[in-house]
Structure 1
Amino acid sequence: MMLSLWDYRRRVFALYDAVRAGPGDAGTWSEWVEGRDRLFGTHPQSPLASAAQATFPGLAYFDHDPCLVFDVTVEDTEPVTAEVAHSGEGTTRLIRFGRARFTVEGEACALSLYWLDSYGGGIFLAFRDATSGDETYSGGRYLLDTVKGADLGHTGRTVRLDFNYAYHPSCVHDPRWSCPLAPPENWLDVAIRAGERLPWQDGERTSMSAVAEATQPLTGGSRSEEQAEYETAYYRATPPSPRSDEAQRTPSTQRGAVQSPRRAWSEGLLRLSTRSGITPSSLRPGPDSRLCSPSVEAGRVGGRPYEAAPATRSPQPSPTLSSNPSSTAAGPPAHTRVNSGR
């Protein structure tokens, strides 16, 4: 298995070597697309389950757009440590080190660049945009993940951001993967219609809100009331510190139950989400919010290829920004495979 993973990663690195060596046109991009399809469809370390590989139709992409290619100068920022939530269990610790600014259709945009605070390190850039939760995965897409080969090149302080190479994390293709979500600093209001998209076609489901409606039906109360309750509970509430695990009685659990405050908070949100069917893909935190985490359900694709996964899972804790690099990240449980190789 490890030799197979080694081979997979070597092939991914080779794909990006060809991208950096090429002229940066649609032809270079098409070869990258074809190479990814070969890996997904045939390699034993594909993010797809083996059964899904047998009927794999190829990944879906927006048309190549040369207007969404930017060579940007990275501005230094104060180093800040972020514990970024996963699509499944666990978090990933990132260190923000720079900011890249560019303009899309006249709108000023900025994305933070992060360093993976783990063995091997690497540059990591994930983002969420106006297509997220509809045309693309609600948890965002990746553009740079250099430790795994996703490297579009740089010269000095100038970094290439070519959004035609934006891609979905592995958790979109199979629920066994647990992948970091886009940090809230990298939520863009503009639509980035380039790179990988969800595979809905005309005549099929064209909106992830339709998928959420079909797979998580509302069982009580109006949607607007539930949305307001969810937003209040999830986005504006402050979760108890994970260090305050002393047993306490809390109003969010059954009377008489004794739990840690953080567990009670998490289980209360799970009950709310299960009852309402609400996922927060379309919600944005208010100006006074302490929490802001994208939906981990509304845009998921798993099980068989490109079918919405009906499973409901507890909303993940939001990314917690801290200037203390010694803060620890919770690891994944035994049943979850962290996206360490794709």
Structure 2
Amino acid sequence: MGSTRTFTTIQAALTAAGNGDRLLLDAETFIINASLNVNKSVTIEGQGKGATTVITSNTGVIFMFNVTVSNVVIQNMTIVQNFTSMASTESVIRVGNLSATGIYVDNCEITVCEFGVSLIATEFQITNCDFNYAPGAGANNNYRYISISSTSGQSIIDTNTFVSDSGPVRCSFIIITNVAASSGTLKGDLVVRNNTQLTSPFTLRHLVLMEEFTGSNFGLYIIDNTTINEGNVPVLFNVANFNIFKFIAFYGNTVQNTAGKGLSGIDTSYIGTTDIFSTNNTIVNESFTAGWASATDPASFIVGYNTTVIPVPPNLPLNPCYWLLLSDFI
């Protein structure tokens, strides 16, 4: 589709499409002024990052791509939501179906003002994407590139890059929140692998912020990720309920630990326990700041906790390795 095609707009092509169709966008810029309702199982494909651009500067476009079905692929394009956040819920891509599977976002440049990809789904994959803060977005805005409010299958966030902008300690790459409000759950496995913070004008807040714990038998893998200038703990568990996890695995990550709270940290409070598996992580600054200490047994810089508000040490069991092969489910 494109300016010289039968369908000149993305919404017109979506309206005419059937399940299983491939919507191929020309190498041009598509300006949208209303949410694109993706209610059919289609592939929406551009000609590559920087070649095909889908952009809005209309503050009324809360969700650029509003996905409500399974088996949707969005790939090979640049998507820009270029305005100052108005409602604090703006998303470039929103998936709003608890049972949705087969959601793939691949090889896109995603430029955000508030949220990049917001997910209420069963399974999804976000791969090979570059996340940036929109040039028209406001300064000193807390924003999140990926927001997860439900996942219960095998979900993967792999080989993406992101830039920390807006202001110091304002950017979180992933947030897990609003699970109960979405009637969601955390089950199955979530793999966060090979994601890299690029040279950035400001410090990162979190690689992963988890502030809601609803579900059971949830496996969290943090593997081969790199952060270069954190202003807070890279992986934060806030008001943690560790009883929902079957384990948490940290493999091959490189972090600076500039905040002195560990590769991951527990803040405010916690209940329960879970196994922590760790191997081959590089923590440049091996020290804890005042008021923080090791949360694992034996002691490590893999998980810290805030001793000023948590009186009883978590003493999470720390294991050197975990033998389940990721290839079993990727």
TM-score by length of 2: 0.23
Higher relative contact order (CA 8 A, sep 6+): 1
Q: Which has the higher strand share?
A: 2
Q: Which has the higher helix share?
A: 1
